[in-house]
Amino acid sequence: MSTTDTSVDDASAGGSNKGGSNASDPTADKVAGMKSPTEQSSPAPAKSEPSGVMRVLGAFTSQKLAVVLLVVLGLLTWLGTLAQIEGGLWATQREYFESWGLIAELPLSFWGNEFPSIENQWVIKIPLPGAYPVMILLFLNILIGGMMRFKRRARNVGVLITHIGIALLLVAGFVKLEYSYSGALALFESPENGVGVTTRAYESSRFVSFHDYELALLTDKGDTIEERIVPEYDLARARYEMVTLQADALPFSVQVHHFLDNCRPMPKGPMSRSTTPVIASDDGSPAVYLQPLKVDPERSNNSAGAYVRVMVDGEKHAEGIVYGLEMLPRERRRFPFTFEVEGQRYGLDLRKVIYDLPFALRLERFVKRDHPGTMTPADYRSFVKVLGDGPERDVQIYMNTPLRKDDFVVYQTSWGPQINGRPAGGPPWYSVFEVSKNPSDQWPMYACFVIAIGLLIHMLMKLIRFLQSSARTTLTA
Amino acid sequence: MKGLRLPLLMLLTFVMAACNRPAPRLEGGVSRTEAWRQETVEQMASVMVQDNGREKPLSVLAAFRLYDIHGRRDLKYSVKDGSDKETKFMLEPTEWLLDVICYPDQAARYPLFRIEHSGVLDALEIQNDGQKLDFVYITYDQAYKAGAKLDDLAKAYFNIEQKLRTTVEEHILELWRDVHAYDRLQRQFGTFHFSVPIADAKLQQAFGTERVTVGTIASHADQFQGLLKREGPEMKGASRDLLAVAEFVAGVIGYDADGFGVFAPTEEGATEWLTIGAAFERVIKGQRGHVVDALTSLQRATSADSILDKERALLQFRDASIAAAGSHYNTVQIERETYYYRASWHYQAIHWFLFAFLIGVVTWLVPRNKTLWWASMGISILALGMLSYDLTLRCLITGHPPIKNLYDTFLFIAAVGVLLLLCTEFVMPRRIALAAAPFVGALLIMFARIYEVSNAADTMDPLVAVLDSNFWLATHVTTINIGYAAALVAAILANVWIVMRVCRLSHPSDVPAKALVRMCYGVTCFGLVFAVVGTILGGVWANDSWGRFWGWDPKENGALMICLGQIALLHARFTGWVRDFGFVVWAGIIGMVTVFSWFHVNQLGIGLHSYGFSAGLRTAVWSCYTVQMGFLIVGTVDVLLRPSPARAAASDKTRPPIPAG
């Protein structure tokens, strides 16, 4: 119980206070093992001015920049969490974490209540960069400052490994954001006698995006349907203006307008008023229009719709609406807007993006087991047959145990039919899977190992140094 | 000091008066004139029932029902005898439940439902005195009389969005839920208090009585079946009495449909236990054996006049129900859980922690006394052992790693926090961590007990499917909570530094203050390892269960904020942007972020980790923020008002310069 440990090696207590010199010089930026720009350009005299490139490089390597970025990212995370209460996850994620900049809002509250009143809550508006550029800068900072220009000394090996792990984690996040996609696949239990209802899906090698739409132009080829796809981002302007779609091989063009993110088709009655165009029918059925609805913060709760006009030789040939309500799994059928040009039958279908799987899944059986006497599921799992090029394979997919195959991952997410979490209608059950393709699927796990190893090495070395210096100090005293 | 005497005395008087609140009076006399024998209570405590998805001792069910309905661990009342002498009584949960079963009239007059706003009484037209005290209790009888009004109001308020409801509206909804919870409980055994008079001689002969009860029907089920068969399915020629009995039987079968399971299932592979009504239906349909004995014993327990006869019948019911459960009765588990709650090791640990804390404080006055140091350290280790044993028992009972829900986190973080501080004290024996360790332990266990009662949900309830993974519970959940514990410990040490500076107990350049910063730094480094690894492991788990590594879910964000805060702090220290004061302030802020991540995000009502809202937790969370902000503001003001040590040394020539390092 010595009281003389003021001379403990301060490097072990942070590295910055060696002999008190660095702590007294807040501008010193090299104590954690990082080469300063000046050191990098040696053997130039210490007093010489670094070049412009080195200054820029120095800025990227700066730990001070890292501190600022980390604090901004923390602030964004906090504000983004609070924003989810009103804005929902999807919209907040886009605004705070996937954007380049935003005006963040902090609603004031006191003791959990709106301040000063629920009707008139004060909101502080803070301009901030989005998490996306912040993380890019952080990655560059780690890459250049924390890895490339880092002093390669034995005592820094832990920090270096940790920085490599964090960089890998950020890369994994970037790859996930830019190159992954996911959606849902819902299958009914296969009937035991093999004879099923034709409109139900028991087996599929396709899955449907959660959020994104596409406009499919369908050409009736008799036995088959030929599809041409227009992705949603090509229709984005149709929210405000007319978008014309033209293909060289087709004798017509398609104009899309009044694209609505959430709407429902309504028959036009004598008393109803519409702010959107009304489509009259030639066959005597009621005129219809798309009624705009408030956009739900959770995008998957919305159903998009749009007006389409088929133009032949610059003249209006047909006009209708396309509506993106998801019909699966109850109905496989869809009801596209159809028309004929030069004797060929075509269809236009606004639908969630459909992705192909390199294998097919058939749901053999779905089992749900509740905790006794409750409606809380203890376990629910799907017994699935995987059909592909090779032999058929039986697998079980359940919580925390997805199927990983051919770079795709299939997760058990839900089941039905149910109303408010309670079974409705009885068997046959259908099972809902999430299907995801993410090239960086397992990278975070590898990063976790790397970071854990790096941190452990670094902290253990620090502890050992600290204990050794404490022992030395005690002996000296 | 003399000037403080009067306020201290007044405070003490106020606290004592508040603690000595008179027990509410039981009006209308008592039916049970003697106390339950301890032996009976203990025996009945280990009767096995199934509730909310798991088998548990009756005592546990009684305890959590009482927490839920009454908001306390015990029920107090007083009785005035003929000579105007008032006698106080205190019932343990099992005793209260036995009263509900055997003395429902008396139980219905217990002061049970806590009313914290006189507006609730006014709305229900219950006579009141304008609520002189800060809360009062009303009885089930009173609530029952106001039942129609209560139902109407609850229906109306239920349709109002929660955040727009007034305090009175919220309380009325809460009361409605509590009254219905009690109603369900007393209905469970209520059928034993009903009887059907029969005048039909044939029926009297068949049942051997002039009044038919659940017990008599169960014990004469063959005769009753014979009577029914004789009348045929249409029962056109049945006597009025037989029809009345048949109607009574149908009523009993459905009377407690939403109650807890009392009898183990007899079918192969079945897991759902039977309520009394469901078991009675099986008996009517031909099942015999121990279930019949259990039903008739319960009938005797509810019908007998003397408490001794009731107790005897209750013990017979216990034996019969255990025999009926057969292999479903897991003696080891039930006795272990009964013991767990009876021994309550974590509660005992509080006392030892407080004792160790006091000794730790005394060591500040006599710093050279090693005996006291070892005494405080030894007692803390002893209390930590008790807490660890408590956690171990919980693991054995549930079959899962130590953390399964929010309640578990309190105990686990308390244990890790104490361990961390004791280790810190061993490494840097400054007597600060020595006193802080038991203080943190006692405080967090007390929070756990408050949360247990206010949340009123069995803390060992089974897990939902996604959480039912011992691998991830043992890795991610444990790791991240160690990270929480370290961050909180660092914040507490930071607060101690601020207090020492503000109270001039130590100069910032003095050895103890420097040592505190170093402890804070070491604990932050330790916490960072676990926070980072725990957060990433959580992402890996989410990738296996929800299909994405990171979803910006509030709980994930909370964990990330802790990591970002700690990494930024360490880098800021490297760069020299923060020194001692900056470091402790930053550590204090990370403490608040930890509270945000630990509790607050669960109450935002969004995300995959939300567990619902509790007003008690909201108060706790905002109290933590307020206290921590108080420390930071006071510390900052002190730093602004008092020059830094370096400047003070430069300006004050009379003071010797502070040595570097």
Average pLDDT of chain A, as a whole number: 82
Which tokens belong to A366?
A: 């779905």
Average pLDDT of chain B, as a whole number: 89
In a domain, A217, yes or no: yes
3-state secondary structure of B243: helix
Select the residue of A118, A377, A447 nearest B536 (Cβ to Cβ).
A447
* Best to test chain B binding among A9, A16, A110, A177 (most B CBs inside 10 Å): A16
Question: Do A318 and A386 fall into the same domain?
Answer: no
Question: CA of B623: which chain A residue's CA is closest?
Answer: A111
Give chain B positions within 8 Å (CB) of A399: 465-466, 468-469, 545
* CA gap B502, B520 in Å, rounded: 18
Residue B310 has pLDDT above 60, yes or no: yes
Predicted local confidence at residue B333, as pLDDT: 92
* CA gap A125, A132 in Å, rounded: 20
Confidence of residue A331 (pLDDT cuts 50, 70, 90): low
List beta partners, residue B266: none
| Cβ neighbourhood burial of A192 (10 Å; 0-12, 13-18, 19+) | exposed
Question: Do A222 and A336 fall into the same domain?
Answer: yes
The domain total for chain A is: 2
Please count the other Cβ atoms lying within 10 Å of the Cβ belonging to residue B236. Answer: 7
Question: Do A374 and A324 fall into the same domain?
Answer: no
Report which of B326, B263, B256 is spatially closest to residue B297, judged by C-alpha positions: B263
In a domain, A445, yes or no: no
* CA gap A357, A74 in Å, rounded: 38
Residue A98 has pLDDT above 60, yes or no: yes
Select the residue of A73, A377, A444 nearest B564 (Cβ to Cβ).
A73
CA A193, distance to chain mean position in Å, is 41
Which tokens belong to B422?
A: 């004791």
Please count the other Cβ atoms lying within 10 Å of the Cβ belonging to residue B249. Answer: 20
Can you give the three-state secondary structure of A306-348, one letter per residue? EEEEEEECCEEEEEEEEECCCCCCCCCCCCCEEEEECCEEEEE
The letter for the amino acid at A173 is: G
Which tokens belong to B484?
A: 């929480």
* CA gap B220, B223 in Å, rounded: 5
In a domain, A278, yes or no: yes
- Choose between A39 and B199: higher pLDDT: B199
Residue ranges of the alpha helices (H) in A119-156? 131-140
Q: What is the pTM of this model?
A: 0.86
Contact B561 A78 (CB under 8 A): yes
Select the residue of B52, B539, B571 nearest A67 (Cβ to Cβ).
B571
The pLDDT tens digits for A148-183 are 777 778 888 999 999 999 999 999 999 998 999 999
Give chain A positions within 8 Å (CB) of B573: 14, 16
Please count the other Cβ atoms lying within 10 Å of the Cβ belonging to residue A190. Answer: 18
Contact A81 B604 (CB under 8 A): yes
Question: Do A367 and A340 fall into the same domain?
Answer: no
Give chain B positions within 8 Å (CB) of A82: 604
In a domain, A288, yes or no: yes
Give chain A positions within 8 Å (CB) of B272: 372-373
Shortest Cα–Cα distance, B192 to chain A (Å): 23
Mean pLDDT confidence for A273-299:
84
Counted residue by residue, chain A has a size of: 477
Predicted local confidence at residue B150, as pLDDT: 95
Report which of A347, A334, A95, A50 is spatially closest to residue A217, judged by C-alpha positions: A347
Residue B2 has pLDDT above 50, yes or no: no
Question: Of A399-408, B15-24, B208-217, which gets the smallest average pLDDT?
Answer: B15-24
Predicted local confidence at residue A36, as pLDDT: 38
Confidence of residue A374 (pLDDT cuts 50, 70, 90): confident
* CA gap B383, B354 in Å, rounded: 10
Mean pLDDT confidence for B13-31:
72
Q: Could you state, in order of their start, the residue ranges of all structural domains in chain B? A: 36-75+89-189, 193-329, 344-459, 474-649
Inter-chain CB pairs, A–B, below 8 Å: 220
User: Is the separation of the CB atoms in A309 and A276 below 8 Å?
Assistant: no
Q: Where is the domain boundary, A354, A386, A418?
A: A354
Question: Of A31-35, A383-387, B57-61, B171-175, which gets the smallest average pLDDT?
Answer: A31-35
Alpha-carbon dihedral B608, B612, B616, B620, rounded to 10 degrees? 10
Mean pLDDT confidence for A83-97:
89
Predicted local confidence at residue A79, as pLDDT: 95
Question: Of A30-44, B159-173, B241-255, which gets the smallest average pLDDT?
Answer: A30-44
The pLDDT tens digits for A237-265 are 999 999 999 888 889 999 999 999 999 98
Residue A75 has pLDDT above 80, yes or no: yes
Question: Do A239 and A280 fall into the same domain?
Answer: yes
Mean pLDDT confidence for A309-333:
81
* Best to test chain B binding among A371, A379, A434 (most B CBs inside 10 Å): A371
Contact B576 A25 (CB under 8 A): yes
Predicted local confidence at residue B118, as pLDDT: 87
Predicted local confidence at residue A48, as pLDDT: 62
CA angle B644-B649-B650, nearest 5°? 100
Question: Of A19-28, A281-290, B131-140, B620-629, which gets the smallest average pLDDT?
Answer: A19-28
3-state secondary structure of A397: strand
Predicted local confidence at residue B382, as pLDDT: 98
Task: For chain B, state the CA radius of gyration.
Answer: 30
Confidence of residue B237 (pLDDT cuts 50, 70, 90): confident
Residue A122 has pLDDT above 60, yes or no: yes
Question: CA of A471: which chain B residue's CA is closest?
Answer: B427
Confidence of residue A133 (pLDDT cuts 50, 70, 90): very high
Give chain B positions within 8 Å (CB) of A409: 547
Contact A93 B552 (CB under 8 A): yes
Question: Do A233 and A348 fall into the same domain?
Answer: yes
Which tokens belong to B461?
A: 């309830």
Shortest Cα–Cα distance, A399 to chain B (Å): 6
Which tokens belong to B651?
A: 């300006």
Predicted local confidence at residue B569, as pLDDT: 96
Contact A71 B472 (CB under 8 A): no
Predicted local confidence at residue A87, as pLDDT: 85
The pLDDT tens digits for A430-448 are 899 999 999 999 999 999 9
* CA gap A391, A412 in Å, rounded: 23
Q: Where is the domain boundary, A327, A354, A381?
A: A354
Place of tokens 């090029």: A389
Question: Do A255 and A320 fall into the same domain?
Answer: yes
Give chain A positions within 8 Å (CB) of B54: 371-372
Domain containing A339 equals: 210-354
The pLDDT tens digits for A194-208 are 777 777 888 999 999
The number of helices, as runs of H, and strands, as runs of E, in chain A is: 7, 23
Predicted local confidence at residue A423, as pLDDT: 64
Contact B522 A466 (CB under 8 A): yes
| Cβ neighbourhood burial of B202 (10 Å; 0-12, 13-18, 19+) | middle
In a domain, A279, yes or no: yes
Mean pLDDT confidence for B143-152:
94
Supply the DSSP string of B170-196, one letter for each residue: HHHHHHHHHHHHHHHHHHHHHGGG--E
Question: CA of B615: which chain A residue's CA is closest?
Answer: A112
Predicted local confidence at residue A23, as pLDDT: 37
Question: CA of A370: which chain B residue's CA is closest?
Answer: B53
Give chain A positions within 8 Å (CB) of B529: 452, 455-456, 459
Select the residue of A81, A380, A459 nearest B557 (Cβ to Cβ).
A81
Residue B1 has pLDDT above 50, yes or no: no
The letter for the amino acid at B97 is: L
Give chain B positions within 8 Å (CB) of A118: 163-164
> pLDDT > 70: what percent of chain B?
92
Select the residue of A77, A441, A462 nearest B525 (Cβ to Cβ).
A462
Kindly tell me the sign of the dihedral angle through the C-alpha atoms of B454, B460, B464, B467: positive
Give chain B positions within 8 Å (CB) of A92: 552
Question: Do A371 and A287 fall into the same domain?
Answer: no
Question: CA of B607: which chain A residue's CA is closest?
Answer: A89
Give chain B positions within 8 Å (CB) of A106: none
The pLDDT tens digits for B23-66 are 888 887 788 989 999 999 999 999 999 999 999 999 999 999 99
Please count the other Cβ atoms lying within 10 Å of the Cβ belonging to residue A51. Answer: 13
Report which of A198, A197, A195, A201 is spatially closest to residue A329, judged by C-alpha positions: A201
* CA gap B437, B353 in Å, rounded: 8
* CA gap A99, A92 in Å, rounded: 10
Question: Do A280 and A374 fall into the same domain?
Answer: no
Predicted local confidence at residue A34, as pLDDT: 41
The pLDDT tens digits for B546-573 are 888 888 999 999 999 999 999 999 999 9
Mean pLDDT confidence for A114-121:
78
List beta partners, residue B90: B76
The pLDDT tens digits for A226-236 are 999 999 889 98
Question: Do A242 and A270 fall into the same domain?
Answer: yes
Contact A14 B570 (CB under 8 A): yes
Report which of A186, A225, A228, A232 is spatially closest to residue A352, judged by C-alpha positions: A232
Question: Do A347 and A395 fall into the same domain?
Answer: no
* CA gap B519, B505 in Å, rounded: 18
Mean pLDDT confidence for A388-403:
91
The pLDDT tens digits for B382-415 are 999 999 999 999 999 999 999 999 999 999 999 9
Contact A376 B462 (CB under 8 A): yes
* CA gap B598, B473 in Å, rounded: 16
The pLDDT tens digits for B165-190 are 888 999 999 999 999 999 999 999 99
ipTM associated with this complex: 0.85
Whole-number Cα distances in Å, A107 to A82, A111, B423, B558, B606: 8, 13, 42, 18, 17
Element housing B576 (H / E): none
Question: Do A296 and A187 fall into the same domain?
Answer: no
According to DSSP, residue A88 is labeled -
Mean pLDDT confidence for B521-526:
94
Predicted local confidence at residue B659, as pLDDT: 41
User: Is the separation of the CB atoms in A213 and A352 below 8 Å?
Assistant: yes
Question: Of A33-47, B192-206, B306-320, which gets the smallest average pLDDT?
Answer: A33-47
Report which of A349, A332, A392, A6 is spatially closest to residue A185, judged by C-alpha positions: A332
Element housing A13 (H / E): none
Whole-number Cα distances in Å, A355 to A227, A349, A411, B365, B643: 13, 16, 16, 73, 67
Please count the other Cβ atoms lying within 10 Å of the Cβ belonging to residue B652. Answer: 11
Which tokens belong to A68?
A: 């600022």
User: Is the separation of the CB atoms in A312 and A354 below 8 Å?
Assistant: no
Give chain A positions within 8 Å (CB) of B537: 448
Mean pLDDT confidence for B506-516:
81
The letter for the amino acid at B595 is: V
Report which of B196, B212, B186, B213 is spatially closest to residue B105, judged by C-alpha positions: B186
Predicted local confidence at residue A476, as pLDDT: 61
